[in-house]
Structure formats: C-alpha cells, structure tokens
Homo-oligomer: A and B are copies of this chain.
Amino acid sequence: MKISLLGFLFLSFSFFAKAHQQDSVVIKRLFDLSLTNGESYENLRVLCKTIGHRLSGSPQAAKAVVWGKKVMENAGFDKVYLQEVMVPHWVRGTKEAAALTLMNNPKTKDGMPVTQKMKISVLGGSVGTNGITTGEVIEVKDLAELDQLGEANIKGKIVFYNRPFDPTYIQTFKAYGHCVDQRVDGASKAAKYGAKGVIIRSMAHGHGDHPHTGSVRYTDSLPKIPAAAISTVSADLIADELAKGRKVFFSMEFDCQLLPDVLSYNVIGEMKGSVYPDQVISVGGHLDSWDIGEGAHDDGAGCVQSMEALRMLKVLGVKPRHTLRAVLFMNEENGLRGGKKYAELASASGEKHVAALESDRGGFVPRGFSIEGSAAQVKWLESLSPLLKSYDLHYFEEGGTGADISPLKKYFPDIVLFGFVPDSQRYFDHHHAETDVFENVNKRELELGAASMAALVYLIDYHLLK
C-alpha cells in the first residue's frame, strides 16, 4: 500500500494525538486519585508520628524498614523485599551543651565577662569533645581564609565558619551548594592549623533560632576535632560581637560516637513489566533521616510519594510495560551505602536499569523534573510540557537528579536519571532541623508531588526514547 506524504503525516498526527489524549486521561486520573483518595499524607503521618527520626543504624531506622515493607505489601505489589546493606552507626549521645562567653561586654558591670548557653546541633559523624572543649572564637567566611590566617592565628582556637546563604539565588539549593563546604570540610581544614574545634553557621536562610545538623567529613591524616552547628541567629550574635573588636570564647561538650557498622536494608517493591520484564524503571527516596525533627520533608516525603506513585498506577489498572520498582534507600544522609548497594546489586542481577526517578527535595508544591540523559531524552522531557502544564508543572531541565540514584551511572552508562523538582523556597527552613516535622508538610502539596511522579513514571514506561 502506498500512502502520500500528506496521508502519512496525517496518520502520524492521528496516532500522536490519540496517544496524547490517552496520556491526558491517565494523568488526570492519577492527580484525581492522589487528591481525593491518596495515601501519601496518611503514610507520612504514621512514619513521622509513630517512628519519628531514623538515622542509619538506629532502632527507629529498623522500625522504618518494617513499616516501608508493610506499606508496600498492603499496596499489593507483585514483590516486596529487603536488600541487605551494612550502614554506619553514629550516635549523638546524651550530652549536647554549649556556652558562649563574651569578654569586655560594656553591658556588664566593670566589663566583666558574661556567659550564656547556646543551642548547638553536633554535626553527624563528629567526634565527641572528651570533656569540655573551650577556645577563643575566630571567624572565617571560607576555607581559603584559613590558609591566610595560618597556624599562628588558629592554633588552640575554635574556628567559626560564618559564610551565609546568598539570598539572591532563586533556587535555594544553589545557595546551599555554595556554603556547604564549610560544614563538610571545615573541621579538617581547621584541624590542619591546630584548631580545637569548629562551629558552623547553620545551612539555612535568614534568621532562625534552631541549628541545622548535617554530616562532617574528616580527612584521615588530620586530627579529628569536634564540630557543631549553631543557629543563624546565634551566628549573627557572635559575628556582631567580633565585629565590635571584642573577644568571644566558646565552650562545648558532647559525647557522640561512631559505633560499629550495623546491618540494615533498602526496602523495595516491584510491579512486573508486561513487555520488558527485565528492564527496570525505579522511583525512590531515602528512608533514613537525621536524628532531629522527624525527617518529614527529608525524606519521608520522597518515600511516601515513591510508594504512592506505584500504588496509584496499580489502583488505576495501568499495565506496566517495564518492571516498575519503588525503592526506599537506606543511609543517604551519612554514607550513601544504600544507593551504592542498590546499583551494585542491580548490575549483578543482569537486569537492564533503563531509568530512575528520585524525590529528595521535600514534599513541596511541584515545579517539574530535572534530567541527566542524552540530548534526545532531554528533548523528550521538554516535550512533556504541554501535557503537564495544567498541573503547574513547568520545569523540565537538564541538571542534577539525586544522590541515591547517581551510583547507577557507573553500571548502566545509558541509564536516564530524573529528579523530582518541587518548589525550593521553604526547604532550608526545615532541612536537617527540629522543624522538619509532619505539621510542616502541606497535604495538597505532597499529593500533587506524588501524582506528578506517578505521571512521569507512566510516561517513561510508555513513551521514553531509550
């Protein structure tokens, strides 16, 4: 049969239009389901309120594994299983106290020193103080400044890293990216010049009165010195005092420690592919959290959204073409052991891992998705814009996707990775802090995220150019 070019174009268009129409219907149903009978919010409530925070190796992390497995079993996935992974086991301990001493304070009688308690949050992985660590405070704005100051100015002191977030970055993750070296590498850099300890301005915008924790990374060849975060309000207080030319002393005491590694698990649920059962598309978040707050946005949200994405596709009777997998990764916060193990085992299994989506930027209102893939795949993602516009999804850009799925690239060079991108404005108000609790997650925002992720998984499964 011969058809004219015009006829061919017409047929192609019809096919495209029909596929597009069908996609629209599926996507609308996913959003309707999430917003009317979604389970993501209730699941998050249970995780946050009955288990709470869950640092790798903790009893709560073990409970969270059982919880995640049960949620997926209840959803009726084809297969739910655990993946063994040894994780670090750092414990904050029972003491966590600090005090600030202001010298020559004109507010006091005769300029006598005045001491006040200060709230700290020990950085994850820090050594304890082994008694009380006290020292004069020296403020720096970046790591390079220590090289200029040298041992003469630093030895025996407590280095205070105080470079604030740059508020002019519209995407708050950029502000974080430009500051976080202070928290991660600041301790060893200061230890190199003989500092006794470090305190870090919290990785947050503006003026909050609670400290934000996070991991510190020691250089093995250097002494390990204690490291803690202080709130942005406390940081401004110290900086003001120093700016007036007055001396400031800081004392801190904490007994955190690193215990032997513990056996833990990634939690995985699967729906078998009807066309490509050996080709896998995963959607995931991380199950562990820091040991303050409830890990609601970071990353309880990503966990419940990932499970919900698969559950909703199942409820709607969408037949997966590839094998779809929801993955709750263990130990993103202080080791990435779960992400690494998952990639290693995926490779060893002989399966082809074609795509992965990660949600680890909080349960805020969706903006869109980032992608790491070929030029054609980037174009494909961009082409979804008209289909998803009415759900306020508009961000479809090449860029970083997620920490837990990044190890897959090593084993599957052709894999395409996606990151769920919610609005970032409020993320660092709560990140790694006591305010990262269920109450600060908005139900509709969380549900819209779950639906957006389900829609993308469906579109990848049915339409992605491989």
Binding site for B on A (CB under 8 A): 31-32, 35-36, 167-168, 170, 172, 205-206, 365, 367, 390-392, 394-395, 423, 425-426, 429, 442-445, 448
Which among B168, B170, B172, B365 is the interface contact of A423 at CB below 8 angstroms?
B365
Closest to A29 in B: B168
Which among B167, B367, B425, B442 is the interface contact of A425 at CB below 8 angstroms?
B442
**Within 8 Å CB of A168, what residues of B?**
31-32, 35-36
A258 to chain B, nearest CB (A): 36
**Within 8 Å CB of A205, what residues of B?**
443-444
**Within 8 Å CB of A425, what residues of B?**
365, 442, 444-445, 448
Q: How far is the CA of A31 from the CA of B448 in the complex (A)?
A: 28
**Within 8 Å CB of A36, what residues of B?**
167-168
Q: How far is the CA of A141 from the CA of B170 in the complex (A)?
A: 44
| B206 pairs with A443, CB closer than 8 A | yes
**Within 8 Å CB of A367, what residues of B?**
392
Which among B35, B365, B391, B426 is the interface contact of A442 at CB below 8 angstroms?
B426
List 15 A-B residue pairs with CB atoms under 8 Å apart, sorted by A's residue number.
A32-B168, A35-B167, A36-B167, A36-B168, A167-B444, A170-B448, A172-B444, A365-B423, A365-B425, A367-B392, A392-B395, A423-B423, A425-B442, A425-B444, A429-B442
A209 to chain B, nearest CB (A): 13
**Within 8 Å CB of A448, what residues of B?**
170, 425
**Within 8 Å CB of A445, what residues of B?**
425-426
Q: How far is the CA of A444 from the CA of B391 in the complex (A)?
A: 23
Q: How far is the CA of A96 from the CA of B170 in the complex (A)?
A: 45
A189 to chain B, nearest CB (A): 28
**Within 8 Å CB of A442, what residues of B?**
425-426, 429
| A31 pairs with B170, CB closer than 8 A | yes
Q: How far is the CA of A392 from the CA of B424 in the complex (A)?
A: 10
| B423 pairs with A390, CB closer than 8 A | no
Q: How far is the CA of A170 from the CA of B390 in the complex (A)?
A: 8
A413 to chain B, nearest CB (A): 31
Q: How far is the CA of A31 from the CA of B169 in the complex (A)?
A: 9
**Within 8 Å CB of A35, what residues of B?**
167-168
| A392 pairs with B443, CB closer than 8 A | no
Closest to A390 in B: B170
The list of the 9 closest CB pairs from A to B, nearest first, reads A394-B394, A35-B167, A32-B168, A425-B444, A365-B425, A35-B168, A425-B445, A365-B423, A170-B391
A429 to chain B, nearest CB (A): 8
Closest to A442 in B: B426
